[in-house]
């Protein structure tokens, strides 16, 4: 009899706990950047959950474009492109043509939609604050070396395809600011005459590691001495 009573009490306690959980709806209090079922938004802080959501956009072009539509006015000017093959052997899918974001670029470029999302989040949440912090001015232009290139890594015959072959990579050479200052990855990565430029570059490089799957810079190897390489592959390779 006592055993049956204890069993009934355990079930009643379990039901009471379930009732409290259902009535309090704790999932409604999870911040959206940590909630796995809340769609990603441009202004969500980048968390491990946000990064997981970003990775899911690779195979969901419509959802990716929906995320870009959450961008505030002026955050990105882009054109969604149909899948196409600009060069034999290098078909492109889930790509957009970026004209500008909150900054101008040395030229327009085509990247995968998820990479465009990552860039806008990085620019708004990290790059512009770092520009203000170290350069005392808004970032107004990014000089780049391109995104799409139908080639193997380092142009080596027999090597695997570069992320550039699917427009899933973007190479940054320098930055220009509203107050007229310019920062070059090649010239200012180790800048002893104006340390602010070097600090800006190194903090920007470090911050990018939270937004892109792979981030490479001058400390990685000689081919990257003049640019940052950002791409959407992997989950945190940062050198």
Instruction: Record the pTM.
Output: 0.86
In tens digits, what is the pLDDT along the chain, a chain of 239 residues?
566 656 666 666 656 555 554 564 544 558 998 999 999 999 999 999 999 999 999 999 999 999 999 999 999 999 999 999 999 999 999 999 999 999 999 999 999 999 999 999 999 999 999 999 999 999 999 999 999 999 988 778 777 889 999 999 999 999 999 999 999 999 999 988 899 999 999 999 999 999 999 999 999 999 999 999 999 988 778 99
Distance CA(183)–CA(189), nearest Å, equals: 9
Distance CA(56)–CA(168), nearest Å, equals: 14
Domain boundaries, the chain: 1-30, 58-238
CA geometry: angle at 131 spanning 127 and 136, to 5°? Answer: 165
Q: What is the pLDDT of residues 135-167, one digit of tens each?
A: 999 999 999 999 999 998 877 877 788 999 999
Of 153, 151, 147, 154, whose CA–CA distance to 169 is shortest? 147
């Amino acid at each position: 009899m006592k055993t049956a009573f204890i069993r009934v009490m355990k079930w009643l306690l379990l039901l009471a706990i379930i009732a409290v959980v259902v009535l309090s709806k704790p999932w409604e209090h999870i911040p959206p950047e940590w909630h796995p079922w809340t769609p990603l938004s441009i202004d969500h802080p980048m968390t491990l959950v946000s990064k997981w959501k970003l990775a899911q956009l690779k195979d969901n072009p419509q959802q990716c474009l929906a995320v870009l539509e959450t961008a505030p006015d002026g955050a990105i000017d882009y054109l969604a492109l149909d899948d196409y093959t600009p060069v034999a052997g290098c078909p492109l899918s889930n790509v957009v043509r970026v004209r500008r974001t909150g900054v101008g670029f040395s030229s327009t470029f085509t990247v995968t939609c998820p990479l465009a999302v990552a860039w806008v989040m990085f620019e708004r949440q990290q790059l512009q604050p770092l520009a203000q912090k170290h350069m005392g001015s808004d970032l107004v232009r990014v000089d780049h070396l391109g995104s799409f290139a139908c080639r193997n890594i380092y142009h080596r015959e027999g090597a695997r395809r570069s992320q550039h072959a699917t427009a899933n990579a973007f190479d940054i050479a320098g930055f220009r600011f509203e107050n007229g200052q310019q920062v070059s990855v090649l010239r200012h990565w180790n800048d002893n005459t104006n340390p602010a430029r070097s600090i800006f570059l190194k903090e920007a490089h470090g911050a990018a590691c939270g937004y892109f799957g792979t981030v490479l810079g001058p400390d990685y190897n000689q081919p990257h001495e003049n640019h940052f390489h950002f791409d959407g592959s992997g989950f945190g390779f940062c050198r």
